[in-house]
Every structure is written in structure tokens, then in C-alpha cells.
Structure 1
Amino acid sequence: MAPSVAIIGAGFGGLCMAIRLRRAGVESFTVFEKAGDLGGTWRDNSYPGAGCDIPSHLYSYSFEKYASWTRRYPAQPEILGYLEHCADKYDVRRKIRFGAEVRRAVFDGRRWQVTSVHDGAERTDAFDVVVMSVGQLNRPHLPEIPGMSDFEGVSFHSARWDHGHDLTGRRVAVIGSGSSAAQLIPPVAERAAHLDVFQRTPNWVIPKPDATFGPLARLAFHYVPGLQRAYREWIYRYAEATLYPALAEGWSAALLRKRALAHLNAQVPDPALRARLTPGYPPGCKRVVIDSAFYPALTRPDVDVVTDPIVRIRPKGVETTEGLREADTIVYATGFRSTEFLAPIEITGLGGRSLTAEWSGGAYAYLGISVPDFPNMFLLYGPNTNLGHNSIVHMIECQVNHVMACLPRVAAEGPIEVRPEAMAAWNRQLDAAMARMVWGEGCRSWYKTAEGRVTNNWPGRTTLYRRLTARPPRGAYRTVAASPSSA
């Protein structure tokens, strides 16, 4: 008999897990989704210009290729539409409890007791297995700037865009200059009377080689045998061969820097502005921005790039060390609480161990999937599985394959957990691999904890990760003896 499975989250990871279970003939699963619809980050991030910096044919499931993509780099509505298409095709919507926010998951010695809240009512359900698929970019980060509550205008985070607020003719302040800011700044600049972009640290930017797929191209992808598979494989292999070495400070690192500087010089003629936009760290230490409209927007006469440190938010605007910059709208494009994995869910494992306490020094997991003392709990897009050079969807599929390979053993033997010695060996391998990556090169990024430990990114090629996750080594996991209660 197949184990019962709780899947937490209905984004790319949760849907992938649900679809794979259904394709395997397993119906004993439930997806918990706190929002009213599916989509995860692509439901939440609907700001103007929102899109993906990974090519569409690669930013999709290998088992559900999609001939209908209209652009090489898809916009948010199209990605969300793809996820909705997948959910409908594989009939998994009926397995999703929408509006059900998971508050706690407690392992009782045999099963997971999952407590969720829906419309104010709390309920607890028991499952053999819990798959956490809440992602890394699901909780907006708001900076701690004095006076934020004193602002008399309208303010919101980019991931909670206020579509009812018209920016036409407004004085807008965008705080942040990373990937989300780079996407939203051009359309906001078109509508606002004036835009101030508050930049703490400049980002490396390379052009986005976007293109449209017209009707003929879409027909070819649909009807020519093997064309879509070959195109996807070419994109994948190109990223592995050229972009990964840049992050590992290999042969293409200098080429990436040269390309970014050429892009900056070509699009920003003002030498003073160019100087403010030139990073002082190697490309890849922070996520490289891929965008062709960002720099031109910053050169507009009605846009100012402000690098003076912010002192506080005033009722009428943003005060820096050089004075007040008036604004009636503030957009916080300040990223996510990316290193606080699984928060705020309270997770309790063997012996009453709190996962929050276990991860107090930074999150860790074997293969980014399993944690000692938390039997039958698997993570999707967990610690050290984010990418700076390829598609996270590939990583998610690898993780789902791993979970699927573990389920028969769970069914046959009962709860399993990763061995502490396997976890320790994995951490040693990660530390050795991290030493050669560019992420530790003296910059602040969402890849790292406040103490500087990289907890988000995978320091290897995705081909290696696929091999490592394909078949769980027998010695990596052990069976947990069932007990009446371990909580």
C-alpha cells in the first residue's frame, strides 16, 4: 500500500510532486496551499514587467513540454498559465486544499500530524510522508528602516503589488536594484512623473537575448518530432558548459565580466552614472541581472539613481544622508527572507527536536532534501539547491525523482531518516565545493546568511546533482523504529 503524502505548497515543486504521484497511480496525497490559487512565486509576483530570466522551454517540466510559449523569456502571466495548464491536464486541482495554511507538522513516532488553518478553523491530519515545497522566495523581506509606518503615501513590496494604485503622474521611490527592481523599473518609469531608484549595491547586468515565437515557430515545436526536445537540450547544455564555469571562476568568468561591462558602456553614456552602476565584486557573487531595458530606464531624465544611504522614511518621502527625496509611492523591491527555510511552519521531529532550533546556524539537508531526526520529511528546493546558471525546475524534478525512489522503502519498512554520518559527509563535500565558487567573494546576497554561510546555492553542475539524486544510496538512510510518541 502506498504511503499517504502531504505536499505543502502548490508552486512548481508541489505540482511536480503531485503530478508524479498521480502518474504513478498514487492517489493517497493532499496538497496544502495557503493561497486561493496555485502558482507559488508566479502567482504572487505580478508586478509590472515580472518574468523569468531562464528560457521558457527550459523553465518547464521535462515531462510536459509546451509548444505554446510565445517568448524565449516568458512573462509572469505565461508562466502562471503553464502551471495552470499542467494542473488541469493531470487533474491535480481536486487534490489541493486552497486557503489551507499549514502551521505545524509534528512527527509522533509513526506518522506526521499536520495542522492547518482554513477560514479560521484548525484541523489536524495524519500522513506517512511530508513533502515541503514552499520554496526559497515565498516570504517578502522588508528592510528595517526607521519611520516606515510614518509614510503618508502608498507603499508595498514588489511581491505584493497594489494593482489598484495607479502610478500615472506619481513621484515613485523604488528601494532596491536587484532582479525584481530591474524588471519593474522600466514600466514604472514610463508611467511615473518622477522615479528615484535607491541603490545600495550595484548589480552586474547582461543583455537579455529575448525573441518572440510566432505561429510558425510554435507549429514547428508542436509538430516536428524531436524539435522541442533538441532545443531544450541545447539550452541546457549551453548553460552547463558556459555559465557554470563563470560561477566557479573558470574559463568563462572573464568573458562574463567583459560582456557585462560592454553592456553597461553601450547603454549608459554618462560616465558618472556608469561609475555608480559598476559593481566592485566579481560577476556572479550576487545574482546576475539579465535585462536589456534596465539601463535605458536609468538614463531617463525623469529617473534618478540615488546611492546616498537611507536614513529614515518620512511622511512625505525618503530621507538620505543628503536630504529628503519626496515621494507619494514607495515600492520595496528588497527581495525575500530566502535563508529562513520553511518558516514560519513549526516542524517537530524525533525526540521533540525543533527544526527551527536545528537550523539556527543555517539550514542544511542531505542533497537539499532530507534532514536527520526528521523521518519521512522531504524538501523540494531546499538548502543548497538554488542555481545561478540553469533552471531550478530541473533541480526540482531531480528531487521529486529522489522522493519517488524513497517511497517504496517507506511502504515496505516504515519511516526512514537520513543517517547523521551521511549528512556530515554531505556537508563536508559542500564546504569543499563552495571554496571554489564566486559567492564567497565579499558581497552581500540572498544566497547567504547574515554570518556569510551560503545556504541557498548548489556549487556543482546540475548533471552531477542529477546523478547524486537519481537513486538513494542504501546506506544513506536508515529505518526508524516506530514508537508511540516521539514528540
Structure 2
Amino acid sequence: MAALVGERSIIHQDIPAVNLLDKATTSHYETVKTYKHSSHPLKTARPIRIIVVGAGLSGIAAVKLFKETFPNGDVELVLYEKNTDVTGTWLENRYPGCACDVPAHAYTYSWEGNPSWSRPYVGAVELYEYFKGRATAYGVDEFVRLEHKVTNAKWDQRSGKWKIQITNLQDGTDITDEGEILINATGFLNSWKWPDIPGLQEFEGKLLHSADWDHRYDFKDKTVVVIGSGSSAIQIVPQLLSSVKHLYSINRSKTWIIPEFGAEFAPEGRTSFFSESQKDQWAKDKDSFLEYRKRVETSLNKYWEMMYKGSSLQTMASENFRKAMEERLQHNQELISKLVPDFEVGCRRPTPGHGYLEALAAHNVTVKTDAIETATANGLRLAEGTVLEVDAIICATGFDTSFRPPFPVTGLEQDLREAWKDEPRSYLSIAAAGTPNYFITTGPNFPVGNGCLIPCLEANIKYAFAAANKIRHEGIKSLAPKPSAVDDFQEYKDSLMNDLVWYKNGKKDGKVWGPWPGSALSYLAIMSAPRWEDYDMIYLKANRFDYFGDGRDGLLAEGGDLAYYLTEPGALKH
């Protein structure tokens, strides 16, 4: 898109040499010669407003990092959250057995651990309480607007701002807001959906979704069906086994059921708890606690080596996990053929299924792998003709993982939901071509299963704030990834995926837009050093160097160490 009058894009060509016979060119040259520099010191910051959508783990982190990054009060921040409280995933998901499947000490912010976790694999309520406590400590209440759902976001190139529409869910009124930076922190476990089963809403029994659980329903002596074989189903099934009369499990896809992540830190598995003396020691001895946290993180980051096809770790994992699954299924060949994967470990996210395989082998459980044809008033009809009559249908079918924004996001030309309808083509997971000043946490090809998770969320926020600082200090109206940079990242990503175990929808030639093409550590390194050369930039003034100002450095204008560049070996202060 051409720059507006008074702006200049860095991709514009320089003004040609003057030809005195070319009146138009001479006039253009004379106009440029009338330029007058701004009368402020170098890199004088302009005030801007940052809008964050979502107050889950990323949104909570954003508040702490905002206070550290912008301490002078010349940047505004607001968070819009559709729920009645913060923490996102751990507020919404409360199904039986819902818990963190990695050691909890690897599920905190990088800048502070939690010595008070009750056990290695904590449940949803304890996770909510911890992150709610962090939100209180960081002062999130000062910035968040609860029960405010963003319904539309549109970039206005003339003003250089995002125009946001929000519905106040408390009273149904609509409001508007605007800001120079928009951060979409809605996450990938946010928008749950019913499965596309004809007649599902006509079912006359109890219909539940794992992300919208009804704890009042009594499963005792009921016949139920659980649809799904992902992490939520794997946690739900063992919890219901002792109550239900009979349980049908619809397993259309196979999943590697593995030992616990970081099992060496939980000798008794899910039944492990930390003693009060251990928690007290961690709270008092910070060095010892940090060393323990590092060992847990290191263990998880080592899993990355398993993701290479044909690697020794991949081969060993496949053999060991297959053997363990067969033993846990009591060597039942029918169940083994239905449940044990024939693809590489890690292609679908492997899941520690405490008690899951044992439950599927129980006498009151039937595993079905057939497609569902339709729902009926009394249950489900399968494609091969079997009718399952049940009291309750549990849809453990997950979330919308298309990576399309949950609301219209219209950049320079197109709504991102339409642009990403068939394939979400991000720039390093964090941004999108044609969508200025827009940043995403957990976007397409974010390292969701590549090692450390929460530090990568933090890295997304730091990256967006680095862009905000560049924009406000260097006279930039907007920046957006160059289409060529997006193309190159997609090409690189697709190439590396050929060496890794991931492929999409059972197709080994399918494009992958779930995980990052590399380890989580590689992602952290790349996020820490933004490649601004990959961005198209539009400046506020026609001269890109106008932010140089009147020749003074800020230290001269504001006072400070005017010899900061001097050092002396052995001196205590530099």
C-alpha cells in the first residue's frame, strides 16, 4: 500500500538526481529541501496506547512486563477479558481430573517459581489460585476490564491506530477503544466448540463439553459415552470409571500414552505430594530452589531430541512406549490394534494418561473407533450401524485450533480470519503480513509442545513491547512483516518439518502449523533479537530520520551521565 501524504515507507525509492530540464522533478526536490527537522532531543518518546485481548497467563505476564518496560507513565495499557475473572484456561476448564501434565515447577513464570505447590502435577483449582495470586501481586486489576468481549478490530492507516469494538457483557452495551498496538493474547485453549455431529442438540439426555462442565450432574449408575482421545478425554475417563454403569469411549485417533513428563521428579507418580518441610526449605533456600527448577526445565527441554525422525531417542521411545502401552492394556490384541499408534512418538502430542489405558481395559468400558453418523434422542448412531443408547454424551473434543482470530482483525486490506481460512501463514508465530502493529501470543507455529511453554509466552510479550518501544522512539507509525519474510519463514518451516515427526491430519505431506520448527530454546533465542529488517515500516514524517530531532541527546536535555561510555579496569563503578 502506498504511503499517505507526509509519510514515507522504508521501501520507497530515494529521490532521483535533479534534472534542471525536468520541472516536475525540480519541484519535488525543492519541496524536499524545505524540510525542517523536529525540535526535540534524539529518540523522544511519544505516548502510545497498548490494547491486550485476554487476561490469561499471557495477559497477566503482560502487566508485570509492562510496568518494567514502560516505567515512566507515557504508555497506556488496557486488557479486555470476556470472562468474569482472570487466568483463562484454568478458570474455564474444570472437568474431572483436569490438571497440569508437566511438573508444576515447570509451569510458572520464569522470573519466580512457586515453592508452595502441593504436588508435582497440580489440578486446575490450584493452578487457578496460583495464577490468580500472581495477577493480584502484579496489579492486573488496575488494567483489566472483565466481562468485556472484543468483537471487532480494524486498522486505521490514517491515524495509525487500531479501532476496537467491545461488548460489555454485564449490561450488553457496546463501547469503542483505540490504540497504536494490538496484542491478541486469547490463546489456543480458549474457543471450545461442539463437534460437528448431525442432531447433537436433539439428544435428550445430558450433553456436556469438557470446557463447559456441569459438576451438578450425577454419573452414578449412568451409561455414558466420551467422544475424543485427546488430553481432556484421557483425564476424564479414569475419573468416571468407578461411578458409571458403562462407558463407551469413541477413539477415532490413536494417542501415545506415555509415562509422566518429568517422572524422575515424582517417584510416586500422580499420587506424589511435597512435604511441608520440603516446601519450607524451598521457600527459605532460594539457591536450592532455583537449582531444582532448572533441573525440571532441563529435563523437559531434552525431549526435543525425540522429535527428529529416526533419531536414537525417537526409536527408543517408540519401542519403550509401545511395550508399556501393550502391558497396560493387558495384552488385549483388539485394544492394542485400536489404541497403540503406528506413527512416531510426538506426531500427536504424547499424553501421560494416569489410569487411562487401565480404564479402557476395564469390564464396563467399550472402545469404539467407528465414525459417528448422527446423534439420536437417546444416544449416538455409528457409521457401521451400531446404536449406543446412553444417559450422557461427553464431548472431549477440544478447541478451535485453526489459529483464526476469534473476532474480525482487519489490517491494511483483509480480515485475518479470511486470509487464514485455509492456512494460517504467520511470521515466526508472532505477527501477520498486512496487519500492522499486531502481535500474537501462541500464534501459528508457536512452540506449544517443544519444551518450556510459559517462558515462550513471556517472549511473545517482550517482543511486542520491543516493537512498541521502537515505534514510539523512532517516529514509526506502523510496522508489519514483509510478505517475502512470511514466505521465507513458511518455506523454512515446511522444509524442517520434513525432518521432524510432525505432520498434519494423518498426512505426511500435510503442512504443519501447530508446533514451532525447532526447540523451545531456539524460539527464545529468535524472539530475543527481533529482525526489524523483515518489516515494512511507515514513518510519521516524510523523512525517516526525523526522530534524530534537534541534535541533542536525551542526556543533555534531561541531565545524566554525559560520560557514560567511559570505563576503568578495577573501578567499582562504571
Give 1:402-441 correspondences, 5 Å limit.
402-412=463-473, 413-414=475-476, 415-440=478-503
1:190 is the counterpart of 2:248:
no
CA contact (8 A) 1:104 1:116 kept: yes
SS in structure 2 opposite 1:216?
A: helix
How high is the sequence identity, in percent, across the aligned residues? 27
Quote the offset at 1:2 in angstroms.
4.5
Q: TM-score, normalised by structure 2?
A: 0.79
Cα distance per residue 1:259-306 (max 9 Å; x no partner): 211321221113322232212222211111112211111122111112
Cα distance per residue 1:336-395 (max 9 Å; x no partner): 11014312x111112x32212221331122221111221111111111003324232121
Query: After the TM superposition, which parts of structure 1 deviate over 6 Å for at least 4 consecutive aligned residues?
Result: none
Give 1:37-186 correspondences, 5 Å limit.
37-109=85-157, 110-118=160-168, 119-186=171-238
Q: Which runs of 5+ in 1 are unaligned?
A: none
Quote the offset at 1:146 in angstroms.
2.0
Quote the offset at 1:75 in angstroms.
1.2
CA contact (8 A) 1:405 1:471 kept: no
1-side partners of 2:190 and 2:447: how far apart?
Answer: 14
2-side partners of 1:377 and 1:144: how far apart?
Answer: 32
- Map of 1:239 onto structure 2: 300
Quote the offset at 1:162 in angstroms.
1.4
- Map of 2:67 onto structure 1: 22
Look up the equivalent residue of 2:394 and give its one-letter code: V
- Map of 1:392 onto structure 2: 453
Quote the offset at 1:315 in angstroms.
1.0
Look up the equivalent residue of 1:469 and give its one-letter code: M
Quote the offset at 1:441 in angstroms.
7.4
Look up the equivalent residue of 1:360 and give its one-letter code: K
Look up the equivalent residue of 1:388 and give its one-letter code: G
CA contact (8 A) 2:183 2:439 kept: yes
1:36 is the counterpart of 2:84:
yes
Look up the equivalent residue of 1:244 and give its one-letter code: W
Cα distance per residue 1:51-105 (max 9 Å; x no partner): 1122111111011311111121221111111110110111112311111000111
- Map of 1:299 onto structure 2: 361
1-side partners of 2:205 and 2:467: how far apart?
Answer: 52
Cα distance per residue 1:233-274 (max 9 Å; x no partner): 222222222x11212222211121122113212211133222
1:281 is the counterpart of 2:329:
no
- Map of 2:58 onto structure 1: 13
Q: Which runs of 5+ in 2 are unaligned?
A: 1-45, 264-268, 542-574
- Map of 2:537 onto structure 1: 479
Look up the equivalent residue of 1:324 and give its one-letter code: V
- Map of 2:392 onto structure 1: 329
Which of 492, 500, 517 is equivalent to 1:459? Answer: 517
Task: Give the total of aligned pairs.
Answer: 475
2-side partners of 1:114 and 1:206: how far apart?
Answer: 44
Quote the offset at 1:481 in angstroms.
4.1
SS in structure 2 opposite 1:252?
A: helix
Quote the offset at 1:442 in angstroms.
6.6
- Map of 2:553 onto structure 1: none
SS in structure 2 opposite 1:417?
A: strand
Which of 291, 301, 314 is equivalent to 1:253? Answer: 314
SS in structure 1 opposite 2:176?
A: strand
2-side partners of 1:452 and 1:411: how far apart?
Answer: 41
2-side partners of 1:115 and 1:277: how far apart?
Answer: 46
Which of 418, 430, 442 is equivalent to 1:357? Answer: 418
Which of 372, 379, 382 is equivalent to 2:440? Answer: 379
CA 1:182–1:197 in 2, change beyond 3 Å: closer, same or farther?
same
CA 1:394–1:400 in 2, change beyond 3 Å: closer, same or farther?
same
Quote the offset at 1:403 in angstroms.
1.6
CA contact (8 A) 2:480 2:536 kept: yes
CA contact (8 A) 2:237 2:356 kept: yes
Look up the equivalent residue of 1:76 and give its one-letter code: A
Q: Which sits farther off after the overlay, 114-123 or 384-393?
A: 384-393
